């Protein structure tokens, strides 16, 4: 091999995003050395985010996302037909560059509910095993909410999360989410303020006997000095948040939380412009390090005692599959053919959009967290005994970071047009007087819904792209029908002057509409190597010195954004590695 070989380190990671930064912030102060190989560029709050609220650059041209000129993902609705590449950004927006998707994320911060972690057991016990469709590969996580709670708590207090606690130690508190699992204490900061539309939504929900609360957030609602000494500003409600870096550090990102801690040790290095191409393994099948290509096209090898796949969900799955060897002919972690299994997503569309002529809603002020949410129809918070589906979704008021160039066609005339003189008048009257109710719904795993390598399309190095097989199934379509009806009830209560559109049926998945950057699964965790790729620490069963972090570990996706759970799982992995792994390297953690 002509690759340049670097001095060995304790840990090397694929990607320099948030989970890598968390691991480094925990392991490097304990004396471990760590290198992260990040395909993108450097970005720091100053000067790189001191930008001009440039919608076209960040929202229109995806300046912070994986460069589709170099690689993408292919998709097909099911395995019996061909896949085509997502040639331009649509369904999801994985980030690249220092901090990964943790820079351009929306800031919506959740804990999954206790029942989410024991999904199969819970559904079986409450409704009977027959309620789970035969091809739905629902499973328990192997870790419970109570086990994760201390890590959720640490993550929230380290980043200065904002919200109103709904359940502290089993006591239900007013103003919070009454359906959340018990927390050991409240949030370090209050929630953000809510825009007029969010308040209208909350009032309608209260009238209907539902339980609205303000979106919990990873965006600071006030100035904050975190436990590591990072001093950060409160939110400016500027309206340029998702897909943008925050110029005042109000939105939590690796750069203003865990990265400074890790880099200050002198034992952590993020090597930028470096694309990892494979995990190398020895004859016994143990990982020896990562091969990567730098910005000048030169090949390198970084040896390490531990390899962590800490990139985005899809790339973590892909790098395991690409790493074929004599010891692991189907890729690392894939000796039993379980890599790629249980790929899930998030049900996101808007079931109903209304016009409130004469009322200004401030849809361009704030962010995705200046809103109200209900959990009454999420998870198993409502009785499914007489319903024809399992699962649920949040319903929430549309986020408030509207940018006109990519949203004007969301307001159409009565005959469905987004052009012409009548449309212009509609825009003049109602551009800031229309809004939607949105969903953030569960996505269940199925046998014909998985990730593998594409036979037809490659990246710039000739390596196969990752291929996604995914579509909505009858359970989710029935769930949508029920939720959309609930959303229409809430909208009706808000007394709109006109309904712009409704979406009573979910229909089929498509890859071209942006939905959410919440692809999950593919390297799922569990307690049974027959139905999982890793144990509950993200440690790969068949290659125990390889770990996976992030949402690729989720056995199925809950009705909430993944970042809080990704953070908590990573804290738990970091602690297990720090406490036990290096004492007995290469052994499976219990």
3-state secondary structure of 230: coil
4 binds another protein (CB under 8 A): no
Q: Are 255 and 45 in contact (CB under 8 A)?
A: yes
Binding marks (x or -) toward another protein, 230..259, rule CB under 8 A?
Answer: xxxx--xxxxx------xxx-----xx---
Judged by CB under 8 A, which of 270, 319, 322, 332 binds another protein? Answer: 270
518 is catalytic: yes
Q: How far is the CB of 303 from another protein (least distance, A)?
A: 19
Calculate ∠ Cα 320-142-279, nearest 5°: 15
Q: How many residues bind another protein (CB under 8 A)?
A: 110
Query: Which residues in the 473-502 window bind another protein by CB under 8 A?
Result: none
Binding mask 340-369 for another protein (x = CB under 8 A): -------------------xxxx-xxx---
- Tell the smallest beta-carbon distance from residue 55 to another protein (Å): 6
Stretches 26-34, 102-110, 188-196, 338-346: which one binds another protein (CB under 8 A)? 188-196
Least Å from the CB of residue 239 to another protein: 7
Contact segment (CB under 8 A) with another protein among 113-121, 327-335, 338-346, 505-513 equals 505-513
As a whole number of angstroms, the distance between CA 20 and CA 194 comes to 33
Query: Does 63 sit near another protein (CB under 8 A)?
Result: yes
Using CB under 8 A as the binding rule, whether residue 381 contacts another protein is answered as: no
Candidates 24-32, 40-48, 344-352, 440-448; binding stretch for another protein (CB under 8 A)? 40-48
CB 212 within 8 A of CB 205: yes
- Picking from 506, 544, 550, the residue whose alpha carbon sits closest to that of residue 18 is 550
Work out whether 272 is an interface residue with another protein (CB under 8 A).
Answer: yes
**Rg of the chain (C-alpha set):** 23
Which of 557, 530, 553, 545 is CA-nearest to residue 588? Answer: 545
Instruction: By CB under 8 A, tell whether 7 contacts another protein.
Output: no
Long-range CB pairs of 60-63 (<8 Å, 24+ gap) are: 60/405, 60/406, 62/89, 62/93, 62/243
Catalytic residue among 211, 473, 518, 537: 518
Give the number of other Cβ atoms within 10 Å of residue 403's Cβ: 18
Q: What is the DSSP string of 367-422?
A: -TTSSEEE-TTSTTSS--TTSS----EEEEEPPS---GGGTGGGS--TTS-SSSHH
Residue 110 or residue 472: which is nearer to another protein going by CB? 472
Q: Which is nearer to another protein, 230 or 545 (CB)?
A: 230
Span 98-137, contacts to another protein by CB under 8 A: 98
- Map the footprint of another protein across residues 401-460, applying CB under 8 A: 404-406, 408-409, 416-421, 423-424, 427-428, 431-432, 455-458
299 binds another protein, rule: CB under 8 A: no
Should residue 85 be labelled a site residue for another protein when binding is judged by CB under 8 A? yes
Contact 590, 583 (CB under 8 A): no
3-state SS class at 272: strand
With H, G, I as helix, E, B as strand and everything else as coil, classify residue 40. Answer: coil
* List 18, 62, 201, 571, residue binding another protein (CB under 8 A): 62
User: For residues 578 and 34, what is the distance between their CA atoms, to the nearest angstrom?
Assistant: 13
Q: Supply the residues annotated as catalytic.
A: 518
């Amino acid at each position: 091999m002509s690759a340049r070989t670097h001095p060995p380190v304790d840990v090397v990671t694929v990607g320099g995003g948030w989970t890598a930064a968390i691991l480094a912030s925990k392991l490097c102060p304990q004396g471990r050395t760590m290198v992260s190989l990040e395909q993108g560029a450097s970005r720091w709050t100053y000067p790189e985010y001191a930008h001009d609220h440039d919608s076209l650059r960040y929202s229109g041209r995806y300046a912070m996302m994986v460069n589709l000129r170099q690689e993408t993902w292919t998709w097909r609705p099911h395995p019996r037909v061909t896949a085509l590449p997502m040639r331009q950004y649509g369904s999801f927006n994985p980030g690249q560059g220092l901090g990964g998707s943790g820079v351009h994320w929306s800031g919506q911060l959740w804990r999954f509910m206790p029942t989410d972690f024991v999904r199969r057991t819970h559904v079986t016990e409450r409704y009977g095993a027959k309620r789970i469709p035969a091809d739905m590969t629902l499973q328990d996580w192997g870790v419970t909410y109570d086990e994760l709670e201390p890590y959720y708590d640490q993550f929230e207090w380290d980043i200065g999360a904002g919200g109103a606690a709904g359940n502290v130690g089993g006591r239900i508190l007013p103003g919070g989410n009454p359906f959340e699992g018990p927390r050991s204490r409240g949030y370090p900061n209050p929630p953000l303020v809510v825009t007029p539309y969010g308040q209208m939504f909350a009032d309608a929900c209260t009238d209907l006997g539902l339980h609205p609360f303000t979106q919990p957030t990873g965006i600071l609602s006030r100035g904050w000095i975190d436990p590591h000494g990072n001093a950060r500003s409160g939110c400016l409600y500027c309206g340029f948040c998702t897909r943008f870096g925050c110029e005042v550090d109000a939105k939590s990102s690796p750069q203003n939380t865990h990265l400074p801690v890790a880099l200050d040790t002198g034992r952590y290095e993020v090597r930028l412009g470096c694309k990892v191409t494979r995990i190398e393994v020895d004859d016994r099948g143990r990982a020896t390090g990562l091969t990567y290509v730098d910005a000048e096209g030169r090949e390198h090898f970084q040896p390490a005692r531990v390899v962590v796949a800490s990139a985005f969900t899809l790339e973590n799955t892909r790098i395991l599959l690409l790493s074929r060897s004599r010891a692991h002919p189907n890729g690392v972690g894939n000796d039993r053919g379980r890599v790629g299994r249980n790929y899930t997503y998030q049900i996101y569309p808007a079931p109903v959009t209304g016009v409130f002529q004469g009322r200004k809603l401030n849809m361009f002020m704030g962010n995705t967290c200046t809103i109200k949410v209900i959990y009454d129809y999420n998870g198993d918070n409502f009785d499914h005994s007489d319903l024809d589906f399992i699962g649920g979704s949040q319903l929430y008021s549309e986020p408030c970071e509207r940018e006109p160039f990519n949203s004007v066609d969301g307001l159409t005339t009565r005959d469905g047009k987004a052009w012409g003189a009548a449309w212009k008048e509609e825009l003049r009257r109602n551009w800031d007087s229309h809004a939607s109710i949105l969903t953030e719904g569960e996505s269940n795993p199925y046998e014909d819904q998985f990730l593998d390598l594409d036979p037809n399309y490659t990246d710039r190095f000739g390596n196969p792209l990752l291929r996604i097989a995914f579509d909505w199934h009858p359970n989710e379509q029935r769930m949508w029908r029920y939720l959309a009806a609930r959303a229409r009830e809430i909208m009706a209560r808000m007394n709109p002057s006109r309904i712009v559109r409704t979406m009573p049926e979910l229909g089929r998945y498509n890859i071209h509409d942006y939905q959410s950057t919440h692809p999950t699964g593919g390297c799922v965790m569990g307690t049974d190597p027959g139905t999982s790729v890793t144990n509950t620490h993200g440690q790969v069963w068949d290659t125990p010195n390889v770990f996976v972090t992030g949402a690729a570990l989720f056995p199925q996706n809950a009705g909430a954004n993944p970042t809080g759970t990704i953070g908590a799982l990573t804290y738990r992995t970091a602690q297990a590695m720090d406490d036990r792994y290096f004492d007995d390297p290469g052994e499976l953690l219990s």
